[in-house]
Amino acid sequence: MAMTSIDLTLTAQKQQIGEPWIWRLSRDFNVKVYIRRANVDPDFGWIEITLEGPLEEVQRATAWLHTTGLHVDPVQRSVGA
């Protein structure tokens, strides 16, 4: 089964800061979540993550992130054999 990884930057506004986004990704989807860098203040935050897993799961996790109200910016994607 081909494994995929995608680098994303997630940006959150004040109302989204306290939500457990990373926990939900690791619980609800068959993906590994690597936190590369982050900066979170009470009013604004961003986090750079890599999602790694089967292509379908990475796609499902990314689609879910788009429904959360977070700004999701793909940075890079790679597909391995």
Q: 71 falls in which pLDDT band (50, 70, 90)?
A: very high
The model's pTM: 0.85
Which of 59, 66, 74, 72 shows the shortest CA–CA distance to 4?
59
Report the distance separating Cα 33 and Cα 68, nearest Å.
17
Number of domains in the chain: 1
Parent domain of 39: 3-79
Q: What is the CATH number of the domain that holds 44?
A: 3.30.70.260
Whether the CA torsion 79, 28, 64, 73 is positive or negative: it is negative
Tens digits of per-residue pLDDT, 12-56? 998 888 889 999 999 999 999 999 999 999 899 999 999 999 999
Looking at residue 79, its pLDDT comes to: 55
Q: List all residues 6 or more positions away from 8 whose beta carbon is below 8 Å from its beta carbon.
A: 48, 49, 50, 51, 62, 65, 72, 73, 74, 75
Looking at residue 36, its pLDDT comes to: 96
